[in-house]
Amino acid sequence: MTEIYVSDAIHPDVLATIGESARVHLGWGDDAVDYARVAPAVDAVILRAETFSRAVIEASPNLRIIARHGVGTDNVDLHAAAEHCVWVTTTPGANSNAVAEYVFALLLSAARKVPQAMERVRGERWSEGKSDLVGFELGGRTIGVLGFGSIGRAVTRIATGFRMRVLAYDPAVEPADIAGAGAGPVELRELLAASDVVTVHVPLLPSTRNLLGADEIARMKPGSILVNTSRGGLVDENALADALRSGRLGGAVLDVLEAEAADMKDPLRHNALPLGTTPALGVTPHVAGQTTEAFRQAGHMAWEAVQAALADRTPPHAVQPRGGRMAAEA
């Protein structure tokens, strides 16, 4: 019988469907099993937060596919997968709307000081002066979108509804395509200097690590807000903390941390960002894509890829050819 390992919770309907034709090993909950126990028998993995290193892949002789439940592949050793003829696939677009909506959940929370207002009520201080809770409106402001894939385009659609001016930077997308989607194509420096809000939507690659380093953060508009729902390594967290402490930036709201590279399931054990001492900083635990709708779509897409690979067909949304060289090296 086919053996499937599912690293983290997925939509229950999808899990039930998988269970109809395969033996499923769960990486979470009361019935959780350590992957190392089942690695010799596993044929396919549906992967969320767990890390699949070279050692893990080499301990999995029957493994034919790692189907990422999401779009990032930084927790998979792609070179080792290719060398061992293991497909790696993603689920592009499944959570684009969920992430885009979450960007505005974070942004509105920061702009209108929602956490501070709720804390005020929890502390039974309703009648105190409220001057410290004065926020700002998004209408008429400029939002800079770094990365103009499906999420960046969804952010643009929502921002337009708020009557925001949208600037976008993505060297991989033609300026005419950006303009046609309702944003103004600009270079990175111009975007940083002109934007009241900067939101990041690019993959973490060697070429994009610290995309927003100390120099770039220093070029951001004074008082602006940074939103990052993509990957922690895209932002120099030390430079960000300095900019927040000095008051140069108005705030930052992050759904990701650089420490996730060390441990995606418990990055706080490795985190260096001063979470508790920087009031203008808000962090959530990488949940931007977690909606019922996104989970259902991503789960179905991952299972479709698994079925194709196990039937010796090329699965949809493969990251690199099975057993072939990485695209960056081709």
Beta strands at 184-185 and 3-6: parallel, antiparallel or unpaired: unpaired
216 is catalytic: no
260 is catalytic: yes
DSSP notation for 44-56: EEEESSS-B-HHH
Phi/psi of residue 6, nearest 5 degrees: -115, 115
Q: Which of 3, 69, 260, 317 is catalytic?
A: 260
- 303: alpha, beta or left, given left = phi > 0 and alpha = psi -120 to 50? alpha
Q: Which is nearest to 275 in space by CA: 288, 293, 259, 297?
A: 259
Q: H-type helices in 25-149, by residue range?
A: 35-38, 54-58, 78-83, 96-111, 114-122
Q: Which of 231, 237, 258, 317 is catalytic?
A: 231
- C-alpha 121/C-alpha 325 separation (Å) is 57
- Polymer length in residues for the chain: 330
Say how many C-beta atoms besides its own lie within 10 A of residue 61's C-beta: 11
Which residues are annotated as catalytic? 231, 260, 286
